[in-house]
Structure 1
Amino acid sequence: MTLLAVERIKLFTTRSPWWCALITLVLTIGFAALVVGNSNDQEIPATVASTQFGYAFGMAVIMVLAALAVTTEYRFGTIRTTFQAVPHRTSALLAKTTVVALLALVIGEVSAFGSWGVGKLLKPNADLALNSSADWINVAGVGVVYALAAVIAVAIGVLIRHSAGAIALLLIYSLAVESLVRLIPSIGDDIYKWMPFNVANKFLTGSGASNGSRAADAGSPMSTAVLGQGWSLAYFAGFAAILLIAAIWSANRRDA
């Protein structure tokens, strides 16, 4: 049995992934229904971007799922059994990260296209067709961002090893810290342009083409990142990779 199969079995035999997946779908699709359902053609028209308004809330849940996937093993001591069975810890952690990231990718795509589908159902006459690359990235790119966010969460889980601490750090940082950075006098806005989740948002929203004619007013808030969409994805992926490398290095140097 391969390491990927082992990690898949361990992940899906617990309840937390199922609950987190359900909560993610309810949050993202529910927000899409609220936003699109209350839109109107005169003042707040429904757009492709507005159907993805709740993706950040779903991403927060995905990071909880990913963090729990590793911290629960430290909590109950099963990580010791894993490392005894697979002395090459790097392989075990990479397998776990891959399985969690793939699950996050699937959940992200289902939630994104589900949100878009609800928008089409509620506003059949609105311009919600995926006619451009910007539209497709705004929807299909959610799964990619979720997968990379899951990698970040696994890395933080390995580094901290405690569920409460890892989850608190992830949620506080992604939902509050980056925005609060903008309050720093003189340099706050410049620092914020390079914060990882702000850059990830730039990958999804680009220049705002999927917002239709309302540009920055429709959908989730526009990113202030200075990178283009492709480079924004590369930057976010690089950030996730650096954290994962640091986590694996730490796991190899200390006791389980």
Structure 2
Amino acid sequence: MTLLSVERLKLFTTRSPWWCALITLTITIGFAALVTANADDREFAPTVSSTQIGYGLGMAVIMVLAALSVTTEYRFGTIRTTFQAIPNRIAALLAKTTVVALLCLVIGEISAFGAWGVGKMIKPTADLALNSTADWINVAGVGVIYAFAAIIAIAVGIMIRHSAGAIALLLVYSLAVESLVGLIPGIGHDIQKWMPFNVAEKFLTGDAGSNSGRGPGGGQSSGVILSQGWSLAYFAAVAIGLLAIAITVAKKRDA
């Protein structure tokens, strides 16, 4: 518990988590308000999924938050102090990852239910009730995806150690690369089926993912053959695998 308390104090005594949380909430809830307010019940009726249309951009901000939680320590040299005080680097990095992932889980749940709540307030007559398991996953699943996305961002931050480089790589990959891979002739579609954020979209939207338009790179979980449960397991495995690689790298090199 001491390690977790130390990491919590380090995280919350900086301004970047607060700003990133505020931006995430503004984006996700703001987009939900815009989409719902402009929805036409005859041509484009608002749905539970459409209230979450800003989740992809919110996730990009979440990954910035997670990456900065690591790279700023390398930038200012505080990571050396941490490793001197806690020689077990695995425990130190796992504690940081746990605290950041839990924060991102909470932010994700607040933003998702906030977006859904705003949509329901703007269009009280629309069919926005959480009547099925799919509807609940659509909303409550956002926080879970944010948590695992944060783990991916921390892993990248540990390996790259520079804020600009880590953030650029994360944003370019999540917002552009996965969508563009599908354009590769012949093999692009087959590769895209297994891209992690594309698979995460399948977990959130199920079979409706290809039409949801809410993913990081345009929102199409096109061609994913895994079920919703296995999609989450796959995304979690990618996140944990990257973290394991990053911790191994951190153990073998100087802080």
Classify the TM-score, shorter chain. Answer: over 0.9
Q: Is contact 1:120–1:126 with CA below 8 Å preserved after alignment? A: yes
Q: Tell me the residue number matched to 1:182.
A: 182
The residue aligned with 2:229 is: 230
Alignment size in residue pairs: 250
Question: How many Å separate the matches in 1 of 2:119 and 2:206?
Answer: 21
- Report the counterpart of residue 149 of structure 1 in structure 2: 149
Structure 1 partner of 2:171: 171
Matched with 2:54 is: 54
Question: Given that residues 83 and 89 in structure 2 are in contact (C-alpha distance below 8 angstroms), is that contact kept between their aligned partners in structure 1?
Answer: yes
Given that residues 44 and 218 in structure 1 are in contact (C-alpha distance below 8 angstroms), is that contact kept between their aligned partners in structure 2? no
Aligned residue runs from structure 1 range 177-256, under 5 A: 177-208=177-208, 217-218=211-212, 220=214, 221-224=219-222, 225-256=224-255
Contact 1:48 1:138 in 2 (8 A): yes
Gap regions ≥5 residues in structure 1: 209-214
2:74 match: 74
Supply the distance in 2 between the matched residues of 1:131 and 1:218 (Cα, whole angstroms): 18
The aligned residue for residue 36 of structure 1 is 36
Runs of 4+ in 1 over 4 A off after TM superposition: 215-219
Which residue is 1:14 aligned to?
A: 14
- The answer to whether the 8 Å contact 1:47/1:219 transfers is no
> Match of 1:212?
none
Post-superposition offset of 1:226: 1.1
Q: Deviations over 1:133-179 (max 9, x none)?
A: 00000000000000000000000000000000000000000000111
So what's the TM-score if we normalise by structure 1? 0.96
Deviation at 1:40, TM superposition (A): 1.1
- Of 62-71 and 33-42, more deviation after overlay is shown by 33-42
The answer for unaligned runs of 5 or more in structure 2 is none
Q: Is the alpha carbon distance of 1:42 and 1:219 closer, same or farther for their aligned partners in structure 2, counting shifts above 3 Å?
A: farther
Q: Cα distance 1:217–1:87, how it changes in 2: closer, same or farther (>3 A)?
A: closer
CA distance in structure 1 between the partners assigned to 2:233 and 2:44 by the alignment: 33
Q: Secondary structure in 2 aligned to 1:130?
A: coil
RMSD: 1.1
Q: Structure 1 residues 217, 196: CA separation in 2 closer, same or farther (over 3 Å shift)?
A: closer
CA distance in 2, matches of 1:248, 1:136: 34
Instruction: Return the letter of the residue paired with 2:228.
Output: Q
Task: Say which SS state the counterpart of residue 207 (structure 1) adopts.
Answer: helix
Q: Deviations over 1:121-141 (max 9, x none)?
A: 000000000000000000000
> What is the one-letter code of the residue matched to 2:175?
L
Q: CA deviation at 1:216?
A: 5.3
The CA distance in 2 between the partners of 1:219 and 1:165, in whole Å, is 28
- Paired with 1:150 and 1:217, the residues of 2 have a C-alpha distance of 26
